[in-house]
Structures are given as C-alpha cells and as structure tokens.
Amino acid sequence: MQNTDNPVSSLSAPGAGSAAAGAVSAASAAIASGKPAVASSFRFHRPRGPLCGRGYCYQCEAPAASGRELACQVGPGAVRYRRDPLRPLGMLAERFPPWFYESRALRPAPLRGVSLHALRYLSAAPSLSAGVSPREAAAVHALPYSEVDADVAVVGSAGGHPGAFRADLAQGDLAVGLYPGRTLGVVGPRGMTAVRFRRIVLATGSYDRLPPVPGNDLPGVIGLSALERYGAAGALRAGLATAFWVPPDQRERAVACAQSFRLSVTWMNEQAPERILGRRRVTGVAVAGAHVPCELFVTAVRQPAVELAMQGGATAELTSDGLPILAVTQTPEWMDLAGSGTLQTSGVPSVPAADEAFACLCEDVRVGDLKACVAQGFAHPELVKRRTGAMTGSCQGKLCSATVLAVLRDLGCDVTPTRARPLARPVSLRELAADA
C-alpha cells in the first residue's frame, strides 16, 4: 500500500514483488519499446495496455506460461501477447449492442448450448496455450487460517493507532472484504485471517478516473502513479511526448514527474481533451480542433476507493460539481476514512460523455450502449449492470462506476450505486486455499 495521500489503490495483488517501484516488468518493457499493447479486450478484442501499474485495473491481463497474468506483475518476456486474431470479429461486434449475441447467436433455442460453447471457446482462444502444470498444481499448499480480535484495525498505511492490527500491502497483506459482525478478511504472508475489530480505519487510496472521450481505452493511456513507477523502472526515454490531464492539486506532482524523467510535455490541462487519438496506441489528443501529438496520455484525476467502506455500511453518492466521482457521504460510527479515499471532488471540469467513449473497459461497454439500454426501459443501475455487463468485469467497477452512473444521471435515471460485495478485488482460488 502507498501512503494515504498517494492516489493508488490499496487493493492490489498481494506479494506482487515485480510490481514494486523501480522493478522492470513486462508492462514497463512494453512501454519502453513504444508498443504498450500487451492484452486484448473481452468482447471487441481491442488492444489494451497497462493503465494502473498496480494490478487493480486488469487491462494488462494477458496469456503467460503460468496462465493469465498481469503484465505489471511479471517480468519481461513472461507475457506472450500477439495481435488478437479475433480482432476482425470484434470490429464487426462493435456495430452491435452488448446484447446482440443474446438476440441473434442464441437462436434457434434447441442449438443454444452449441452456440454458447462456440462463443466460450472463441473468447478463450488467445490463452489456450497457457495453463498450470500438474506439478505446479501439486505444489500449492493451503494457507493457515486464523482469527484475531483487535480493538482497532487499519487498512493501509495510516499513521498513529499504536497496537492496531494492520493490513498493509507494503507488508504483503491484502484486505479482501468487510463482513458482518465487524470482521475484516485479510490474505497475506500470515495466511488467511479473520479480524474482529471494534473500530476500523480505511486508508484505501484511490483509482485513476478516465475521461469519457473517444479513445479512452487506447494503449498508452495510463495513470500518473503508473507513470512514476514505469519511469523508476527505466521505461520512459528522455523526450517522450506526453500529455497530462491534471487537476490543480496534482499539477506540481505531474510537472515534477515530467522533469524527473525528462519527458516532453506536449499538453497539460485540467480540461479533458475532445478525443484521444490513435489506433493500436495513443498518438495524440484533439484539443480545440487541433491535433497535439503524444505517445502517452496521463490521467492524474482520481476516484476514491469506496468498496470496503460500502461493504461496511457506508453510503456513497455521485458528486455534482465538476467531473463526477463516487464519494463516501456517510460512514458507521465505528469506521474512519483517511487519505485520498476521502476525496469529495475530482477537481476538474465536467465533460459530456461521448457515445464512442468506453464507459466500461473490462466488458467493452460504450456510452452509446448505456443510452440504448435505457431507451429499452432498463433505467436503473442494477438493470443496466445486468443488461450490458458494465461494472461486472475484472476491475469490479473501479474504473467505470462513476462514468456509468454519471451517464444514467444525465438520462434522468436513478443513480443509487450498485451493491459492493466482498471480495473487494479478484482473488484466485489458490490464494483462498486455507487450512482451517
């Protein structure tokens, strides 16, 4: 976990040594090569690149020798990404809404099982060569399980609170969920631990907020924290053309990063560009009708990490000033928030969501798909979630919830956030194999 003032999620994968600041990874190597595409999207098979650098966005998940791995958490050469052969099919699919297969490919009903099997096979095709060998599977040992009582539990690196139980990712501890009875679930070097507490302090950090403009899913769109990490790993060459979307409170940090790694800043503003340009990677931004060249588009706008708080009974609402974010508005008396998880504003002006922009990167759901869904009568976040798949992907809504809810609010819909259920991030069955 980062310092509570650093806009980085506290819910990254445990024990991700290669993701440490300064470590060379497959993701940093891809950025250094000028070819940041390391993976493909689920439905459209669009090229995707590293975004968060912390393992919570899942945009760099790609086939590897040991199975599907995050490029930001494995060494160079571990990820075997090649241009997705199903991209032509994806380009065709982009012409149809997310529920196209439901209404077309699943007919006639007697052949539905065959159709579903074919779709699953095709979707898995890029990773068919990856897997875990029987020897590796046999080497998996159950983690020890324990229960602990604590007066105070701290998630993150919040200062103070001597004697508290701490779940700190810097020490390899991952807080996976808040459960009834004031119980915190933790997976880490100590195994699986159920922590029963009287009070809890959540310093869970924040995530990158993407602008709802066309091209926001292109490889080369990354967060400011990820830029700093990849720079420390030597992935940023001097003179690299970089565009920054930065709120005023992060501008000094962005300038310092650019100076430290001798980047060429071609554009820096708190107003989002009209469009991010490029095909297989970022090549520029469109601002006031002009083309400003760049190879990286950096977002320093943040969305608070609210999952654990909401699991514990806190309420969160979409903000109304500037670009909307989902912010905690009320917490139980036994819960305290700290650091950037307490943010109440994005700090940047709002921008109209373009129909071509991706609202949900994991499931390839565009803003226009959301509007079409509402027009069909699915005018509630839970219905939109089930109809389109938005907010159901590997990132569990971390990148898309604010955008989806903001679009629904503009359409006059209810914008009550969907339920935040444990686990707070994807965790493999291997990690959950506990010996009680």
Q: What is the pLDDT of residues 274-306, one digit of tens each?
A: 999 999 999 999 999 899 999 999 999 999 999
Q: Does residue 131 have a pLDDT over 60?
A: no
Task: Count, in order, helices (H) and strands (E) of the chain.
Answer: 11, 24
Q: What is the mean pLDDT of residues 28-42?
A: 94
Say which residue the tokens 């976040």 belong to.
Answer: 381
Q: Does residue 104 have a pLDDT over 70?
A: no
Q: How far apart are CA 121 and CA 293, in angstroms?
A: 39
| pTM, to two decimals | 0.86
Q: What pLDDT, on a 0 to 100 scale, did the predictor assign at position 122?
A: 57
Q: How far apart are CA 397 and CA 299, in angstroms?
A: 18
User: Does residue 374 lie in a domain region?
Assistant: no
Query: In the numeric block, which tokens belong to residue 385?
Result: 């979630």
- Asked whether 310 and 301 are in contact (CB, 8 A), the reply is no
In the DSSP assignment, the letter for residue 312 is T
User: Does residue 113 lie in a domain region?
Assistant: no
Q: Does residue 18 have a pLDDT over 70?
A: no
Q: What pLDDT, on a 0 to 100 scale, did the predictor assign at position 322?
A: 96
Query: In the numeric block, which tokens belong to residue 46?
Result: 């669009």
Q: What is the CA radius of gyration of the chain?
A: 21
User: Does residue 184 lie in a domain region?
Assistant: yes
Longest dimension (CA), the chain: 64
- Asked whether 220 and 296 are in contact (CB, 8 A), the reply is yes
Q: What pLDDT, on a 0 to 100 scale, did the predictor assign at position 417?
A: 92
Q: How far apart are CA 207 and CA 302, in angstroms?
A: 5
- Asked whether 45 and 90 are in contact (CB, 8 A), the reply is yes
Side chain identity at residue 416, one-letter code: T
Query: In the numeric block, which tokens belong to residue 163?
Result: 């004697």
Which residue(s) pair with 62 in the sheet? 69
Q: Which parts of 96-246 are beta strand (E)?
A: 143-155, 165-167, 174-179, 183-188, 191-202, 206-208, 221-223, 241-245
Number of domains in the chain: 1
User: Does residue 151 lie in a domain region?
Assistant: yes
Q: What is the mean pLDDT of residues 221-233?
A: 96
Q: What is the mean pLDDT of residues 22-27?
A: 88
Rounded to the nearest 5 percent, the helix, strand and coil shares of the chain are 25, 25, 50
Q: How far apart are CA 419 and CA 354, in angstroms?
A: 26
Segment among 209-213, 240-244, 379-383 with least mean pLDDT = 379-383
Q: Does residue 352 have a pLDDT over 90?
A: yes
Q: Does residue 195 have a pLDDT over 80?
A: yes
Q: What pLDDT, on a 0 to 100 scale, did the predictor assign at position 115?
A: 63
Nearest C-alpha neighbor of 8 from the set 233, 235, 203, 248: 203
- Between the alpha carbon of residue 222 and those of residues 60, 73, 203, 283, 392, the distances in Å are 11, 16, 23, 14, 21
Residue of 124 and 252 predicted with greater confidence: 252
Nearest C-alpha neighbor of 69 from the set 394, 330, 400, 404: 394
Q: What pLDDT, on a 0 to 100 scale, did the predictor assign at position 179?
A: 94
Q: How far apart are CA 111 and CA 107, in angstroms?
A: 7
Q: Does residue 96 have a pLDDT over 90?
A: no
- Asked whether 361 and 399 are in contact (CB, 8 A), the reply is yes
CB atoms closer than 10 angstroms to residue 157: 21
Q: How far apart are CA 399 and CA 222, in angstroms?
A: 12
**All residues at 6 or more sequence positions from 144 whose CB lies less than 8 Å from its CB, including other chains:** 190, 191, 192, 434, 435
- Which structural domain, as residue segments, surrounds residue 179? 140-205+427-435
Q: Does residue 368 have a pLDDT over 90?
A: yes
User: Does residue 292 lie in a domain region?
Assistant: no
User: Does residue 7 lie in a domain region?
Assistant: no
Kind and range of the H or E run holding 366: strand 365-366
Residue of 212 and 419 predicted with greater confidence: 212
User: Does residue 72 lie in a domain region?
Assistant: no
User: Does residue 195 lie in a domain region?
Assistant: yes
Q: Does residue 129 have a pLDDT over 80?
A: no
**All residues at 6 or more sequence positions from 193 whose CB lies less than 8 Å from its CB, including other chains:** 145, 146, 147, 148, 185, 186, 187
- 85 three-state secondary structure: coil
- Between the alpha carbon of residue 13 and those of residues 152, 159, 285, 414, the distances in Å are 24, 22, 32, 33
Which residue(s) pair with 184 in the sheet? 178, 195
Q: What is the mean pLDDT of residues 372-391?
A: 92
